[in-house]
Structure formats: C-alpha cells, structure tokens
Structure 1
Amino acid sequence: MNVIKVLKAGCSFLTEFKSGDPMSAYDVREFLQSRYKFFEAPITLERMFAEEGGEFQYGEFREKAIRRLVIESSGFIAETGEDTTFTEELLRDVVGAIEKQFKMQISIEVVGYDSILEVQWDQDPLARYTEIQPIQNSMNDKIDQSHPGMGVLALSKIEFNSPVLEEDASTQLTFSLERRQGKLFAENIFYSRAPLKTDEHVQLLKAHFG
C-alpha cells in the first residue's frame, strides 16, 4: 500500500474555559490573524466562541500551511494537509497562545481526529470480500442480459458509521474505503476516511487491506 496524499489531517479539542479575564472577539481575531498570518478571518465576530463558530482560513504554522481554524463555544477545530500530529501541535499552540495572551486557563477535555487519505494498492483491496461474490455475479448476469457489453459491477466502497447522537450528523464517526472516481479500477486508487490519527489510519489500512 502506498499513501499518495494526505487529503485532510483534522484535529478537534472539546474545551472548557476555566478562568481568565474577559476578552473580546475582536482582540482574539486580531491576535490569531497576526500570529498565524491568516489570509481570511471571521467577519461576523458574534460567531466566535458561539455555537456556529468563527472560521480562519489559509494561515501558517512553522512554515507549513493551515487550511482552517474554527473557534466555537465548545472548543477548537483545525485542518491541515500535513498529518494529525502537526495539526494537534497547531491547536495546542493556539490554546497556549490564547491562555498566555489573555491570562486565562483553557481545559482540553476531549481530543478528536479526522483523517482522509488517497491511497493505492498493487491488488484490489476489496477483492477479499468473496462472500458478496454471488450477489455481484447475479447482478452482472442481469445487467449483461439487458445491457450486453456494458461491463460488470464490482464492490467499490465499504463504510462503517456510528449512531448519530442528538440528531446531529457532525457527531457521527465514519470509516470508509472508496474507489476514487474517474480512475480505472485496475489502478486501485482509493480514498479512505477514519476518525483516527494519520499514522493509526495508515496502520489500520495496512493491517486489514495489505
């Protein structure tokens, strides 16, 4: 298996503001925009530290690109194209910088991850699921009767989801492995998503798909 590209390295902190002096959204926006050189910052200041969150885009941390940083009432979310270790380091830097600048204490209660990779195998990683072969053969026989020469169907995606909590789709965890559209099946290029650190995601794919 070869990792072609890290498409998303996401990290989120569920936090609690323990103590500190009152701070304005304007001051926080100006501080973070200056520190991380964001090209875009929240225009509607009311969204910062609110449920919908205020979003910064296209910044820089340790000379590497930040895609987005969101600050909301429940915590912080960041996304880069590096790996989740780097993204988590960014978020810890953000939290530490806010604590120091505004003389406050922020408790990190839960850390979450969201990894999306583009990967390639020498052999079809889904070919091992032979138990669905009878269904696949039956479908292809029917298709060949009604649409001769149109090709065959093959397994293209597997996905596992957690239950949605409180009717909020954002709480759902997903693992998926899906053929990249627009590529020949024979190229065996896939997208994969997992609520894991980047290195754990890679290890899982290698362990179960070769």
Structure 2
Amino acid sequence: MLDSYKHKGLRKVLVKQLKEKGIKDEAVLKAIEKIPRHFFVEKYAAEVAYADKALQIDAGQTISQPYTVAYQTELLHIQKGEKVLEIGTGSGYQTSILVELGAKVYTIERQKELFDKTLKFLPTLGYTANFYLGDGSNGIPEEAPFNKILVTAGAPSIPDTLLKQLAIGGILVIPVGDEKVQTMTTVLRVSEKEYEKVEFAQFRFVPLIGDKAW
C-alpha cells in the first residue's frame, strides 16, 4: 500500500475543508491529516477517497463522511489514556482516529465480514484496539465503565444499556432519530442517576441494529 505525496496533499486539502466547515480541534485535524483514508477504501480513486462524503464499503455498510467523523470525534473531547467504546467498527477508520488520539479503544461490530477484515488490517497500520464481534446496542458490559462512548449508527433512542456503561463524568455521542435523519446528541453522565443531554446538528447514518435498536 502506497501513501504518496499526492495522497498526503489530498489530506491537507481535506483538512482545510474541515476547518472551513467549523472543525476546530487541532488534535482531531492532525489525526485526519495523518491517517491514510484511501487504505480503508481501496476500490476508490484517491480523489474519491479524500472527498468529503460517505462511501460504500463491504457488507452493505459505509465509511462515514470525514466531516461526520471529525464532528463526532470533536464532541468526545478525547484525552490520552481514556477508555473509549466504539459501537460499529465498520472499516476501522474511526477506530484508528480514536487510537491516534491516544484512547484505549474497545470496538464492537456485528458484521463478521467487517470484523474479520478490520481485526487483521488495523494492526498493519500500527493501530491496536480491542475488537469484539457482537450486538453493539448492548455495548460491552464486562469492560465497563467507559470514559467515552461513540455510536456510529443512527438509533431511534438512546439505549439504557449504553448509558449504564458510562463512567461518571463520561460522554456518550450518538445520532438519534428516524431512519431518514438523526440529530447528533451528547449525553454527559453527571452522577449515578443524573445525565445531561445536548442536541446538535442533523446527520444521516446507517441504522443501528440490535436488541436495543431498530
């Protein structure tokens, strides 16, 4: 796999576009500039791989638009060493962003085809995470609590199972809505029983599937 000057130049252009769209977190922007997105979408030309749009990957899933990845990641306010749960490994691109930011990542994917591929692929890029195959709507209760939880699929509501797996002071980022459009939502766990919810912009994700989802 080749990461050429052309690819690096396209990433610089992409980062400039993300800044213009309002992404401010320098650590997030540096991670996006560093990670070769074209490795995750090999069937596409370089210009397409670095366009700010979602692309089809295996198992009928998508790799999110770079702006969406940056937006969600920025809302998490990742600190080095934090324990982060990612619901929906997909291509592993978002996973690599989280690892690049210094998080200890636990990621779960229900599609075995994607799970098998990403489990083998990410370590070749130098990114280590804890991979799980299963129903993401249930989280990974045996590894809880998590400092941050990121859901990369649209949900009709916020699963209680995930809220319970948040550490006090932890943040959950999840797109909530119907199958056509979702509102990016953050939940801060203030105490054992108290949560604070904030709603942001609207996005469109593939649906979260599982016992606690659609």
* Superposition TM-score, scaled by structure 1 size: 0.27
Structure having the larger proportion of residues in helix: 2
Q: Report the structure number with the largest CA radius of gyration.
A: 1
* Superposition TM-score, scaled by structure 2 size: 0.26
Structure having the larger proportion of residues in strand: 1
Bigger RCO (CA 8 Å, 6+ sep):
1
